[in-house]
Structure 1
Amino acid sequence: MEVKINREIREYTESLFFGLSLRQFFFSILAVGVAIALYFGLRRQFGIETLSWMCVLGAAPCAALGFIRYHGMTAEQLLWAYVKSEFLMPRRLIFYSTNTYYEALQGTIQKYEKEGMKRYD
């Protein structure tokens, strides 16, 4: 008997339906629903080939929302992070360089500069 354990415990997802998580199953059903709605809504205006491509293109974003993760974030988390960073808390980040080595030794440098000035006087 073999028990599989994920290397990273945070990546564990419980399979509920057909090996999919609840989130993936929900968005898969949503994608099928969108494809069916597009088919029945547009079947009189377009031919079968064009209509099939429209169904695929209409269902793809819904399916992608359930499966794609970016930097460990789901689509909703990514959208919320984008809204927060661009609209709710926008700020201009300015870089000021600091020479920490110079700041740490500034007293010693000034001491030696003063001693050097005394020698030349």
Structure 2
Amino acid sequence: MEVKINREIREYTESLFFGLSLRQFFFSILAVGVAIALYFGLRSRFGIETLSWMCVLGAAPCAAMGFIKYHGMTAEQLLWAYVKSEFLMPRRLMFHPTNIYYEALHKTILRNEKEGMKRHD
């Protein structure tokens, strides 16, 4: 008998329902609900083939939200990072260099330069 152990403890997920984590199970149920709602909401307007594709395409984003992980972020964390970087943060970053050492000793440097000029005269 072999027991799988993750190399990284942070990658551990507990399986609760049908081998899925709670997060994956929740989003899978949500995807099924969206597909059912689309089916009953649009069955009078479209044919069965078009309707089946609409159900699949409508449920896919909901199902993917439970399984997507990118750079250790869940789908909603990834979406929030995208919104922050594209809409909330400034696009144009200006770099203004500051020399903290020079600013702290500016008066002393000027005084020493003036004393040096007096000595040369």
Q: TM-score range by the shorter chain?
A: 0.7 to 0.9
Q: CA deviation at 1:78?
A: 0.6
Deviations 1:83-112 (A, max 9, x none): 22223332523579xxxxxxxxxxxxxxxx
Aligned length: 96
> Aligned residues: percent identity?
94
Amino acid at match of 1:25: F
Residue 28 of structure 1 is matched in structure 2 by 28
Amino acid at match of 2:6: N
Return closer, same or farther for 1:50/1:91 CA change in 2, 3 Å cut-off. Answer: closer
Q: Tell me, in whole angstroms, the C-alpha distance in 1 between the residues paired with 2:61 and 2:45.
A: 23
Give 5+ residue unaligned stretches, structure 1.
97-121
Deviations 1:12-60 (A, max 9, x none): 1010100000110000000000000000011111111111000000000
Residue 16 of structure 1 is matched in structure 2 by 16
Q: Tell me, in whole angstroms, the C-alpha distance in 2 between the residues paired with 1:91 and 1:46.
A: 43
| Residue 52 (1) aligns with residue 56 (2) | no
Amino acid at match of 2:92: R
Give 5+ residue unaligned stretches, structure 2.
97-121
Q: CA deviation at 1:4?
A: 1.5
Residue 110 of structure 1 is matched in structure 2 by none
Residue 69 of structure 2 is matched in structure 1 by 69
